[in-house]
Amino acid sequence: MTDTLKHDHDSTAMGYGTSSESSAQDETMMNNKSIEEIRRQVESVYELPMIPDMASRILQLSADPAASVKDVVEVVEMDPSLAAQVIRYARSPFFGYQGNIDTIHEAISRVLGFDLVMNIALGISSGKVFNIPDDGPLGTKAFWRHAVYTAALTQALGKAMPRQMRPKAGTAYLTGLLHNIGFMLLGHLFRPEFMVLNKLAAARPNTSIAELEKRILGMGHAKHVVNMGHCQLGDWLMQSWKMPREVIVTVREHHNEDYKGEHCVYSRLTMVANRMLKRHGIGDARSEEVPEHILKSLYLSEELVERIFEQIMDGGEALDVMAQQIAA
């Protein structure tokens, strides 16, 4: 794994004073800084992890109009655990396929399709570069459980939209899978603060994660990212890795009810999925209520969303197994 620290973490290396008066002045200055200024400051001290080789290969394939199923099979089969996840997903009850699926080629040609397999592989491989604690509401186990459920629900909700409005199924799945990747980067760059945040999130489940992030990231070594919660950090990482724009937008905007810009359909689907999952104690959504204007913009009714949600939860055993295998 790439060593993320170029220099010492001590805040004095960033030019901060140690007195309470100096700290107050620093906090005021930080709150007035733009995200881009904070980003440049962080880059001067920390180094982002490199995109995993597998993810890089898949991105190259996705940009190649001549790429074939054979090419995807060859790349995915390089990682046996990843191949197993793809096959397991193809066998899941969501697709209702009655035949046998024993190979990646069969998963692609009979059930999932080229695009979805590419995006499943891209999403899973992207998370393998990080090393964060297993347990807690933000740990690896909870992260992948939330990610897998959100991906499946986002994909299913997208399929229920009118055909002319419908997003790409594979892309919808990927945005759901990676929407919280910023937590991974937070744990990777600022481990002490992440550990505190993880414990605080467990102790105060009714407090929004945004509020907890602001409190924790305003202290210690991470004080210079007080305005950059997991959404901004994830956005930064996805841009660095040159991920699809749909993913970048969703990572940044999935909590923003007012976002109406580019690729908002993906961020809104992910938001709906998050809020529904919150009702079952999964994830970090700020509310269990799904805004009516969001549903209308997606041409989805509350009744239809409820029905799709129940179908996904009925297949929860398969998703739990998948999440456990990824986390392991």
pLDDT in tens, 35-88: 666 666 566 556 788 999 999 999 999 989 999 999 999 999 999 989 999 999
First to last CA, the chain: 17
Contacts of 137 (CB under 8 A, 6+ apart): 198, 201, 202, 205, 284
Burial of 24 (0-12, 13-18, 19+ CB in 10 A): exposed
Model pLDDT, residue 190:
85
CATH number of the domain located at residue range(s) 131-327 in this protein = 1.10.3210.10
For the chain, give the percent of residues with pLDDT over 90.
Answer: 61
Q: What is the domain partition of the chain in residue ranges?
A: 46-129, 131-327
Model pLDDT, residue 171:
95
Query: What's the pLDDT tens digit per position in 23-38?
Result: 444 444 444 445 666 6
More reliable by pLDDT, 224 or 301: 301
Query: What's the pLDDT tens digit per position in 253-273?
Result: 999 999 999 999 999 999 999
Average the pLDDT over 14-19 and give the result: 35
Which run of H or of E encompasses 212?
helix 209-216
Q: How far apart (Å, rounded) are the C-alpha atoms in residues 220 and 248?
A: 28
Model pLDDT, residue 210:
84
Model pLDDT, residue 14:
31
Type of residue at 72: V
Q: How far apart (Å, rounded) are the C-alpha atoms in residues 88 and 80?
A: 12
Contacts of 68 (CB under 8 A, 6+ apart): none
Task: Report the 10 Å Cβ neighbour count for 81.
Answer: 11
Average pLDDT, the chain: 84
Structure tokens at 283: 């994830």
| Residues facing residue 46 across a β-bridge | 5
Report CA Rg, the chain. 20
Average the pLDDT over 112-127 and give the result: 93
Q: How far apart (Å, rounded) are the C-alpha atoms in residues 187 and 226?
A: 15
Quickly state the pLDDT bin for 328 (edges 50, 70, 90).
confident
Ramachandran angles phi, psi of 261, nearest 5°: -85, -155
What angle, rounded to 10 degrees, do the helices at 169-178 and 264-278 form?
60
| Residues facing residue 5 across a β-bridge | 46
